[in-house]
Amino acid sequence: MKTILLTFLIALLFANFACFSGRSGGNEGNDSGKPEQNNTNTKIKESTGITKMDTTIKTDTKFTDLNKDAFRLHYDAIVIDTHNDILMPVFLQGAKLDADNAGTQSDLVKWKKGGLDVQMFSIYVPERYKSNHFSYVMKLIDKLESFEQENPQTFALCKNYSELESALNSGKFTALMGGEGGNMVEGSMENLETLYSRGVRYLGLTWNTSNAIAISAKDETERGKKGGLTEFGRDVVKRMNELGMLIDVSHLGETAFWEVAELSNSPIIASHSNCYSLCPHYRNLTDEQIKAIAKSGGYIGINFFYKFVDPSGSPGAIKKCTKQHTQCSR
Ligand SMILES: [Zn+2]
């Protein structure tokens, strides 16, 4: 039985999934390195009986200094990325989910190379859609379900743990869905429940813009908007707890964050946020917020969008971090 490991660092080098204002649909960053091979693959097989290392991957000098055990751990574990915007370029710009697209950093080919096993697809409505957010999301889910129906031997869209376990054991690439932005609920509890019944297993209460549920981090810090959760938002938090739907606080204003932390009786998550003390950006979390998420039993998915990683806001921040990580692992 393999250990399920929520590990993001190495997977993110291959499967990009940053999310930010002015979204580019999963095309952020430019890392494309490949892991060292040597005889590691054989050793994994001997010790565990399982391996997911793709033997067709060629050695790239970029990672030759990394500790081989890190790769063994990575490829032996079940690696989950909890936020990826790839559906926008797939459904709006013609990218192929099952092809090695030149213009995206995410697709099934790259995920396989990167050792990613489970992808949580971000269900998101682009800002230019001013209305009918719920119906847009329903169509997006329809299309993802259609892809599963067209690829039943290789791709599984799961709604619960047993489905996920079954899909992984059968060697399928496993998909889950998470909603980004409570605007898609359109102020209707019935819509929230439909999202859950369709398989959406977390919901980010806001994106950068505030909505009927809460004030966003961007509005609170850059536009001076006051307030946290609305009355409807408080009901949404309670209903999500009842449904077993995770509350995602990435993008959420800090006032609303603390109200959620107080109100929720279930673990809360930040699907794609970083550490404010290292990079003071409104999309990142203070040390106190990080401790509160840990105390709730939740998790934080690291975001490699450069503005959330390096205080200088330099596009080269990711490469700098990769270099530092390589040096540290020696
Ligand atoms: Zn986002």
Residue 171: give its domain's CATH number.
3.20.20.140
Q: Which helix (H) or strand (E) holds 148?
A: helix 133-150
Q: Count how many domains the chain has.
A: 1
Q: Which domain holds residue 90?
A: 4-328
Q: What is the pTM of this model?
A: 0.80
CB 184 within 8 A of CB 204: no
Output the CA 207–ligand 1 centroid distance in Å: 6
Which residue's entry shows tokens 């004030």?
A: 215
Output the CA 38–ligand 1 centroid distance in Å: 37
Would you write out the chain's pLDDT as a tens digit for each of its 330 residues?
343 443 333 333 333 333 333 232 332 222 222 232 333 333 333 333 344 555 555 544 445 556 677 777 888 889 999 999 999 888 888 888 888 888 888 899 998 888 899 999 999 998 888 899 999 999 999 999 999 999 999 999 999 999 999 999 998 999 999 999 999 999 999 999 999 999 999 999 999 999 999 999 999 999 999 999 999 999 999 999 999 999 999 999 999 999 999 999 999 999 999 999 999 999 999 999 999 999 999 999 999 888 999 888 777 766 666 555 444 332
Output the CA 148–ligand 1 centroid distance in Å: 25
CA distances from 3 to 48, 190, 318 (A): 11, 37, 28
Output the CA 180–ligand 1 centroid distance in Å: 7
